[in-house]
């Protein structure tokens, strides 16, 4: 009976990793639209977001199946409950990636990453924090989970730097609407990192209670 349960938990981990990979691809594809406004890539981001929604439903059903068939107790119960909470944040990461893609597609053609190189660095840090949060759950690594808030500080600092830079350049001949769009992209990245912090908190709960 325990062997079957362990296999079900392994399957849950695999589903979460696959969902996290979709999140990563969605963020990367969305940010890439800054340099090339490709409608096909924008459509790919939308498809990633739709797949993320599908994974959320699959994982929900799998977790409910474990509750009913296995009736987990203590640590196992917390682990499955945490997974259910985590996928809500992961689904919202997909939504935020779609929002970034939509903004990138309406920016003026000459307003790419070269205007704000910090955006790419912020996106890379955001992707890393999301992956680290999910890996901490899969690996049951509480120390890694507890580092996520410090990693989130890096993303927050990028947001402050980008905001301050926008305040400076908006006084010049920089397109004010584009400046606001860049600020919104940075804000969505910050929100994604906040979702990763939420995930890490559920990881800690699943291990420590």
pLDDT level of residue 168 (50, 70, 90 thresholds): confident
Mean pLDDT of 10-15: 94
CATH of 2-208, one of 1.20.1640.10, 3.30.70.1170, 3.40.50.920, 1.20.58.220: 1.20.58.220
Mean pLDDT of 100-106: 95
Mean pLDDT of 38-50: 97
Closest CA to 20 of 80, 119, 86, 76: 86
- pLDDT above 80 for 192: yes
At 69-94, the pLDDT tens digits run 888 888 889 999 999 999 999 999 99
Round the average pLDDT of the chain to a whole number and report it. Answer: 92
Contact assessment for residue 181 and residue 147, using Cβ atoms and an 8 Å cutoff: no
Contact assessment for residue 157 and residue 206, using Cβ atoms and an 8 Å cutoff: no
Between residues 27 and 116, the one the model is more confident about = 27
| Gap between the Cα atoms of 3 and 189, Å rounded | 40
Cα 52 to Cα 3, 8, 22, 95: the distances in Å are 29, 20, 7, 9
At 115, give phi and psi (nearest 5°).
-75, -35
At 147-156, the pLDDT tens digits run 999 999 999 9
Percent of the chain's residues with pLDDT above 90: 74
Closest CA to 102 of 179, 37, 12: 37
- pLDDT above 70 for 1: no
């Amino acid at each position: 009976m325990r062997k079957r349960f362990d296999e079900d938990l392994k399957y849950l981990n695999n589903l979460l990793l696959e969902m996290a990979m979709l999140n990563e691809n969605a963020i990367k594809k969305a940010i890439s639209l800054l340099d090339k406004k490709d409608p096909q890539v924008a459509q790919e981001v939308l498809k990633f977001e739709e797949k993320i929604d599908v994974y959320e439903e699959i994982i929900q059903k799998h977790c409910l199946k474990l509750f009913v068939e296995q009736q987990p107790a203590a640590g196992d119960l917390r682990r499955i409950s945490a997974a259910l909470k985590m996928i809500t944040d992961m689904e919202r990461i997909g939504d935020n990636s779609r929002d970034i893609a939509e903004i990138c597609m309406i920016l003026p053609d000459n307003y790419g990453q070269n205007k704000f190189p910090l955006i790419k660095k912020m996106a890379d840090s955001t992707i890393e924090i999301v992956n680290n949060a999910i890996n901490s759950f899969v690996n049951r690594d509480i120390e890694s989970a507890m580092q996520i808030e410090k990693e989130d500080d890096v993303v927050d600092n990028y947001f402050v730097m980008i905001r301050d830079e926008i305040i400076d350049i908006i006084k010049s001949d920089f397109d004010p609407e584009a400046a606001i769009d860049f600020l919104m992209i940075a804000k969505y990245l910050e929100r994604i990192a906040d979702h990763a912090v939420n995930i890490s908190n559920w990881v800690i709960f699943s291990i420590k209670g």
